[in-house]
Amino acid sequence: MASAQTDPPHPAVPSFAASPGDGQWTIPQKNYASTRFSDLSEINTENVKNLQVAFTFSTGVNKGQEAAPLVVGGTMYVLSPYPNILYALDLTRPGAPLKWQYNPKPASAAQGVACCDVVNRGPAFANGRLFFTTLDAHAVAVNAETGEEIWKTKLGDINRGETMTMAPLVVKDKVIVGVSGGQFGVRGWIEALDVDTGKSIWKAYSTGPDQDVKIGANFKPFYDSDKGKDLGVATWPADGWQQGGGTVWGWLSYDPDLNLVYHGTGNPGPWNPNPRPGDNKWTAGIFARDADTGEARWFYQIAPHDLHGRDGNNETILLDMEWEGKPRKVLVHPGQTGFVYVIDRVTGEVLSAKPFHALTAATGVDLETGKIQYSSDKEPVSNRVIRDICPAASGAKNWNPSAFSPRTGLLYIPHVNLCMDWGSTEPNYIAGTPYVGAEIRMFPGPGGHMGEFSAWDIREGRELWTINERFPVWSGALATAGDVVFYGTMDGWFKAVHARTGEVLWQFRTSSGIVGQPTTYRGPDGRQYVAILSGVGGWAGSIVSGDLDPRDGTAALGFVNAMRDLKNVTAKGGTLHVFKLP
Amino acid sequence: MRRAAPFLLLAVLPLAGCQGWQSALDAQGPAARTLADMFWIFLAVLGAVWGLTMIALLLSLRRRRPADADPLATNPETERRMIVTTSIAVGLTLVTVIALTGLSYAAQKVLFARKDGALTLLVTGEQWWWKITYEDSQPNRVFTTANEIHIPVGEPVLIKLEASDVIHAFWVPSLTGKMDLIPGRQNQIQIQADRPGLYRGQCAEFCGLQHAHMGLFVIAETKEEFERWRDRQVSSATPPSDSHRQRGMEIFLSKPCVMCHQVRGTDAGGKVAPDLTHVGSRRTIAAGTLETTRGNLAAWILDPHGIKPGVNMPAVKLEPDEVQPLADYLEGLK
Amino acid sequence: MCSSSLKAVAASILLTALALAACQREEREFRSKSMADETEEKVSLVPLSPGPSGPAEQRSGTAKTYEENAYQIAQGQRLYAWFNCNGCHGNGGGGSGPPLMDDMWTYGGQIEHIVQSIREGRPNGMPSFRGKVPDEQIWEIAAYVRSMGRNVPKAAAPGRRDDMSPGPAEQRRPPGQVIDGGQIPPSAQMPQ
């Protein structure tokens, strides 16, 4: 009788992602469910205003710092942008001095085929080793104690535009990595390497024949449009899938109970949709793959025949929740299309898709067919300029990951508020050069602010509160058991916010804009620390990190038009800031 | 008689336009037939009008007034006759104009009527060649070729017309009238060929230096032949059959060719120049300028500006022993 | 009578002179230098040279025919988009590559330096286009790049395009200058 009155329980973190309580942060996602939630509660809503700098460390590289500082035991690991130097800091000694550093010496020419600043999203720790990728498409394993290289494997060719920027995921005895280069016509893939030797165990492409994509008898997509033979060839013009994009450069999650790895595939190549009629499978979507063999289990395409450069690589957060009275295992994906997708992670069925960004490019997602409903007047046409497409090509939210708090049941989404004008041009494929076919100018969305940090109710599909920021929010989010959430802004403020009300409780101006992922840990002294890398860059901040000229609005694939003021607000940087209570 | 001979020859010259693969008067399709009929009707009617006018003029020149008559005097008889004649002439003119306008309107309706056809093409005018994309309900049967259109006989084919740089015009006289290709806008035209054959077309809107050499061919063939041709075109390029052609392919992939041209099945994916995946199967290269032979291919690659000055294709530097393998390779891309 | 006919003669001479003055910027050759080897430019990237005089340089003199010719610059504008230069360098503002419309040049900003950069590639990401783009086209692209910063005469610089406008057309930009040395190359930012 009372069930109608009581609120349904919050979505819960699956048991496999329960915190071990050791106060460490061993992978950027924090756990396989990608919650980015720490159970440390020494810092809470009352005392966070007293937070002060504990120590700092310069990475020596003044490009976009997108990595998450990891802490294992008494050592912190920080990975810099190209040249991808891995630093180990000894937290047991005052001032956290350098323990060792490792320089993988990636090819400098790789900087020429990196679309969006020479960033790296961090290493992953497992079994006494650190695994990370380098810009010139190598995967490296390094001894976490000594910094010695254990193996380094070349996986991609920069001459074809292949680079790597993602944080690997270690699943059992495999390191899983993927390739970047969707703006260079790279045919995307995801690969699993042996943890001990670096040799390839399986590799699955994002376009092409079923055999290459590892679609076999166990592939059971939920929607009819994904059922058929060799759709990775049939939904492209003749041989178009060879330069089809679908790169895997973002976040991976893993469900050990189902033994499924969840990953996104990137935008199709080229961005201009006219040369590639068809649904362009399997780009701009989310795959569930068997972790041992790489075989695809299901797929959902968030943007079939993508029109505006949409990508499926944003994070997927695995949660258990009640949906319409039944317990479901779900995956929550705040997508580039502007919708927060709640998808059943067993079957691939979309349970809900609610917008969190102003929309003109699409009107909604039809839950019957799973298809996004595009607005026909925003579809690119040859030699014409289409105006006011929202969200912009950056997506409503890009790589920077959100965090989930099981205490509040809210998803904390750092995102943008951008729209764009789009002029189609004829794309020309030349291996190793950009393959885009569009000129873009981005500008602030409705309201005039370009960034937002929102608290999202997953069940109801609506925003509870939001903090508007002048510049896009391009940093990750961190949620803690003290009911404090952390994020950073591109003008350099690192903020602590009340998880329930959205009140900014504390902020600190770091040395440069923030595009990194905040982490928190319990130090050797038993105190709670919060770490963030400060150094503006990434695609949104490339006007500063690349010294671009603000007079050309189409530079940096359209971002410069929106970010002309960024140079007046911050300079380049590359410094780790760690905070603690006095 | 001898002095008149050259003029007689000149008179015969226009008759040469009555036949051939690029003649608007040699209609091979319903649209062209409508236009040719219109041409003849207008010619006949207006020719007759012209003839009558000339006769009237000559007659009036012959008449002379008496030398001593008063120039301003009016004769009521002749006045009345003149009024009647003039009114009849004005009336006839109006009727003729209205009739011809009506006829023209009816012809326009026929020309712009859209019949349901199975085949749709997208023709993009570039300087100075035609990019042709065959559309299909199955995306993986969509392919791009250049300068040569094959259509099945007897079926209406819808052609969407776009331009990437300046205004061009699509004109295959034996099949249809002209339609402009305007950047930023899509026009449409429907063509249909009644008989199998080879029909030559041309760009009909001045578009730059090589406007005169921007030809295209429409080949109408039976449905089976057409489907065979289309299946061939959808497939990737045949791999080189011998080491000589293999060397030609390696040369192709290491030279400036890959910056602009595409050969599907290799890493060459350039889309700003004609697609070469099946260039050997086309009758001509350089937009109808040269026949596809090894010699012409070599000549075109080595000195395009000697053939079409100002064209976008640059002269490519080749070693003497690279010319033959490259030409062989391209000719073998059937 | 005399003075007005004198005025007419003077006016026609002036008009003819003005008309002919524009001829040079539109000169074009259609028989491109086929089989041409690349021009030899012996340039230095820095003004430093030991001894009392500056660096010894030898240029082929081709610069003038490209930099002051509107046709060559317009061809360069077309090729700049065709060969995807705009994918990394935007419309001069940069992106994954550095901007080309400002006064900072990592590897030298005179047209010979730009031609060498395109031919040879540069550390930190510029690919080498030698053998992939014929030398004449490299010069055309370099001339267009120079026009981005208005380092070419205003009459030769391109006007407004029909596409979406990234900013003022090259013709309307203030005349540029190349600062010797420019910025520190990114490789110098390598820590260790």
Model pLDDT, residue B52: 92
Dihedral angle of Cα A479, A483, A487, A492, to the nearest 10 degrees: -150
Is the Cβ pair A113, C125 closer than 8 Å?
yes
Domain residue limits, chain C: 63-160+170-185
Chain B residue whose CA is closest to C129: B256
Q: Tell me the per-residue pLDDT of A519-544, one tens digit each, with 9 for 90 and over.
A: 999 999 999 999 999 999 999 999 99
Fold classification of A15-580 is Methanol Dehydrogenase; Chain A (2.140.10)
CA atoms of A181 and A432, how far apart (whole Å): 9
d(CA A232, CA A246): 11
- Separation of alpha carbons B191 and B154, rounded Å: 10
CB neighbours of A288 closer than 8 A, spacing ≥ 6? A258, A260, A261, A262, A296, A297, A298, A299, A345, A348
Q: How far is Cα of residue C48 from the mean position of the Cα atoms in its chain?
A: 24
Question: Min CA distance, B122 vs chain A (Å)?
Answer: 11
CB A187, CB A241: distance < 8 Å: yes
Percent of chain A exceeding pLDDT 90 equals 97
- Percentage of chain B beyond pLDDT 70 is 96
d(CA A247, CA A179): 6
Cα–Cα distance between C116 and C60 in angstroms, integer? 13
Judged against a pLDDT cut of 70, whether residue A47 lies above it is answered with yes
Average pLDDT (C159-166) is 85
In B, which residues are within 8 Å of C31 by CB distance?
A: 305-306, 309
Residues β-bridged to residue A56: A577
The pLDDT tens digits for C41-51 are 888 888 788 99
- Give whole-number Cα distances, A1 to A9, A322, A326, A389, in Å: 16, 18, 18, 48
Q: Would you state the pLDDT for residue A465?
A: 97
pTM for the model stands at 0.92
Whether the pLDDT of residue A336 is over 70: the answer is yes
Distance of alpha carbon A415 from alpha carbon A471, whole angstroms = 10
Are C107 and C153 a contacting pair, CB within 8 Å? no
pLDDT over 80 (residue A131): yes
Other beta carbons within 10 Å of C155: 13
Residue C54 has pLDDT above 90, yes or no: no
Q: Which fold has domain C63-160+170-185?
A: Cytochrome Bc1 Complex; Chain D, domain 2 (1.10.760)
Q: Pick C182 or A272 by higher pLDDT.
A: A272
What is the structure's pLDDT at B23?
Answer: 87
Q: How many CA atoms lie within 13 A of A518 on its CB side?
A: 30
Place of tokens 């008989």: B195
Half-sphere exposure of B201 (CA within 13 A, CB side): 33
| A111–C81 CB contact, under 8 Å | no
**Cα atoms found within 13 Å of the Cα of residue A271, Cβ hemisphere only:** 26
Token pair in block for residue B311: 């064209």
With a CB cutoff of 8 Å and minimum separation 6, the contacts of C12 are none
For residue A108, pLDDT over 50 is answered with: yes
Assess whether pLDDT exceeds 90 at residue B17.
Answer: no
Give pLDDT tens digits for A339-366: 999 999 999 999 999 999 999 999 999 9
Q: Is C32 part of the contact surface with chain B (CB cutoff 8 Å)?
A: yes
Six-digit token pair at A228? Answer: 């058929």
Nearest partner of B131 among B260, B227, B275, judged by Cα: B275
In chain A, the residue whose alpha carbon lies closest to the alpha carbon of B274 is: A428
Q: Is the pLDDT of residue B136 over 90?
A: yes
pLDDT (0 to 100) of residue B63: 78
Q: What is the pLDDT of residues B230-263, one digit of tens each?
A: 999 999 998 998 999 999 999 999 999 999 999 9
Question: Which of C31, C32, C37 to mutate against chain B (most B CBs within 10 Å)?
Answer: C32
Q: Nearest 10 degrees: CA dihedral of C141, C147, C152, C158?
A: 100
Q: Are A506 and A496 in contact (CB under 8 A)?
A: yes
Mean confidence (pLDDT) of chain B? 91
Mutate to test the interface with C, among A548, A560, A566 (most CBs of C within 10 A): A548
CA distance A318 to chain C (A): 34
Tell if the CB–CB gap between B260 and A428 is shorter than 8 Å: yes
Which of B184, B186, B270 faces A429 most closely, judged by CB atoms?
A: B270
Give the tens place of pLDDT for each residue, B263-297.
999 999 999 999 999 999 999 999 999 999 999 99
Q: pLDDT tens digit string along B24-73?
A: 888 899 999 999 999 999 999 999 999 999 998 998 888 777 777 777 77
pLDDT greater than 70 at residue A4 = no
Q: Does the bond joining A391 to the residue before it have cis omega, within 30 degrees of 0?
A: yes
**Which chain C residues are Cβ-neighbours of A103 within 8 angstroms?**
192
Does the distance separating the beta carbons of C82 and B260 come in below 8 Å? yes
Strand partners, A340: A334, A354
| Cα dist from A147 to A56, A99, A138, A498, B138, whole Å | 21, 9, 17, 38, 54
Q: CA-CA distance, C82 to A574, in Å (whole number)?
A: 36
Residue C188 has pLDDT above 50, yes or no: no
The rounded distance, in Å, linking the Cα atoms of C133 and C139 is 10
B164: nearest CB among A277, A383, A431: A383
ω into A25 cis (within 30 of 0)? no
pLDDT at C191: 43
Q: What is the mean pLDDT of residues A138-142?
A: 97
pLDDT-derived band at C124 (thresholds 50, 70, 90) equals confident
Q: Provide the ipTM.
A: 0.91
The pLDDT, as a whole number, for residue C44 is: 86
**Inter-chain Cβ pairs, chain A and chain C, closer than 8 A:** 143
